[in-house]
A and B are shown apart, each in its own frame.
Chain A
């Protein structure tokens, strides 16, 4: 399988993602420019990643303008055919705006841009995973019906938790609904999460918990 990483104007985690996939996970990576739309070399066994950053300067709403870029039209088609798509941070916001995932990411309840390590409970590990977050708009919100469906279908892939894996109000960094840090779509091929696994995938960085997430979501 191979990976495509989309580069929007304002993406700033695209190279981190490339580095993590290529050097830490030994995968083939192709960078995909937002103005291009040809992804005919990708099959549904491959995976496309929307990286973190501030696509189009976060103008209008985070991810709102990126959603209409030429490359995104191909990514939406790719996702609807069953190809795997992961959006991290701004990528998660783009996926919500593109309606490949339900809901929206609102401004953090405490009005601050938060950049720190947090713990996640979810797929791939019984233990809490230590992963950094870096966002100003990470408060997940959806209407009650959508939230119930997400929980019922096990579509919440990561909850914020404490070091011991307890999902508590104190462990919620940004006021997100039900401690939600990441979700997947009903079909199980589109994933979005605010925390950055690509920033925690290298021994040199002293934390490889992110590898567990990338492998679990994309390579299993």
Chain B
């Protein structure tokens, strides 16, 4: 079976995110009110062939730990559709 696996990769919470800061500046320039912080990460979609959901998640986790995220600077969350 093919599972659609969603991987969210975000900069670690206590790290400065200059990209988020730049986007925040843009939002301020737009005159939008009420947004007080922006952090920018990645959303990655994997199509994974596996016997079941758990196995699909495991395969995605392996891929994420090895390449999709760097634990020194990022954390990740995985969900299976």
Q: Determine the main DSSP class of A at the interface with B.
A: loop
Whether B72 pairs with A60 at a CB distance below 8 angstroms is: no
- Dominant secondary structure at the B interface: helix
A193 to B71, CA, bound (A): 21
A106 contact from B15, B21, B22, B68, Cβ within 8 A: B15
Cβ proximity bits A97-136 to B, threshold 8 Å, 1 near / 0 not: 1000001101111110000000000000000000000000
Question: Given A64-B67, A111-B21, A111-B22, A103 and B16 touching (CB < 8 A)?
Answer: no
Q: Which of A53-83 contact B (CB under 8 A)?
A: 60-61, 64-65, 68
Contacts of B45 in A (CB 8 A): none
> Nearest Cβ in chain B — how far from A140, in angstroms?
11
Say yes or no for B19: interface residue by CB 8 A criterion: yes
Q: Is A33 an interface residue (CB 8 A)?
A: no
Nearest CB in chain B to that of A110: its residue:
B18
- Given A60-B67, A103-B72, are A141 and B15 neighbors across the interface (CB < 8 Å)? yes
B28: Cβ under 8 A from any A Cβ: no
Closest to B72 in A: A104
Residue of A106, A109, A143 with highest tally of chain B CB at under 10 A: A106
| C-alpha spacing A110/B25, complex, angstroms | 13
Residue of chain A at shortest CB distance from B74: A61
Nearest CB on B from A178, distance (A): 15
- Cβ of B67 and Cβ of A175 under 8 Å apart? no
- A64 contacts across to B, CB distance below 8 A: 67, 70
Please report the C-alpha to C-alpha distance between residue A142 and residue B16 in the assembled complex, in whole angstroms.
13
Q: Are A109 and B72 in contact (CB under 8 A)?
A: no
